[in-house]
Amino acid sequence: SKQTNIVVEFENDSDVAIEIYNFYGQKIDEICNTNLASGKHHFIWNASQQEKGVYMCKMELNSEIHTIKLIVL
C-alpha cells in the first residue's frame, strides 16, 4: 500500500498542523490541525488515491515550519 509514517516529537504542548501538498503547491490533504501534548506522535498518510510523483509535507509546530519531500512510487 502507498502510505508513510510521519513522526513528530516536541518537549512542550504545541499547536500542530501537518498538510500535504502536490507538485503544483495545491494542498491535497490535512493530516493534523490541533493542539497536542508534549511527546512523540505518529501519523499515517495514506497516498493510495494519489498519482506517482513528488509531494511536500508541511509541518507547522507553533510558529516553526518544517517541510519534507515525499515520493509516491
pLDDT digits (tens, 9 = 90+) for 8-57: 999 999 999 999 999 999 999 999 999 999 999 999 999 999 999 999 99
Look up the pTM and report it: 0.90
Q: Which residue reads 495545491 in cell numbers?
A: 26
Q: How far apart are the first and last CA of the chain?
A: 10
Average pLDDT, integer, range 51-66: 94
Enter the C-alpha cell of residue 59. Answer: 509541518
CA 58 to chain centre: 6
